[in-house]
Amino acid sequence: MEDYDFALASYLDSTRPLLIALGRWDEERIILRFAESFDPGQIHILTATGTNIGWMQVSETEDEIHLDQLHLIESARNMRIGSGLIRELQDRANGSGKALALNVIHGNRARELYERLGFRVAEGDEEKVRMVWRDGADVGRSGDAPSG
């Protein structure tokens, strides 16, 4: 339950300003969607010196690895933590012959990082864009992941 509470709080902190800017903030809908997609078996709480600094959720199908969530607390951003985690997932995807995919909310600064790391837009809707990375041919090696 502690992991859930931490994950939900950081998720709401990250997504609230982005969804408000898009006119898509509905806290009840957001919390329900979060609860439905939160899978404790896919969650990794990120810690530094015994303190929670973020969390990620990764799922996998036969065809792809999906970075469902990556959220870092403010003080842990821009330290290359997110980019390192994504590179590890890229290596895993490359080794398994799978694509690596993620969704990013419109207006999220993390999209710039994902593009530098070789992700390309596959599709989108009024709230988010689906991005996909395949093989390591055009992967950049700088930057960090803002939360969200």
Domain limits of the chain?
2-133
Residue 141's pLDDT is: 39
Residue 76's pLDDT is: 93
- Show pLDDT as tens, one digit a residue, over the chain (148 residues): 889 999 999 999 999 999 999 999 999 999 999 999 999 999 999 999 999 999 999 999 999 999 999 999 999 999 999 999 999 999 999 999 999 999 999 999 999 999 999 999 999 999 999 999 998 544 443 444 444 5
- Burial group, residue 16, by CB count within 10 angstroms (0-12, 13-18, 19+): middle
Q: What angle do CA 41, 123, 109 make, to 5 degrees?
A: 70
Residue 73's pLDDT is: 94
Residue 135's pLDDT is: 80
Superfamily of domain 2-133: Gcn5-related N-acetyltransferase (GNAT) (3.40.630.30)
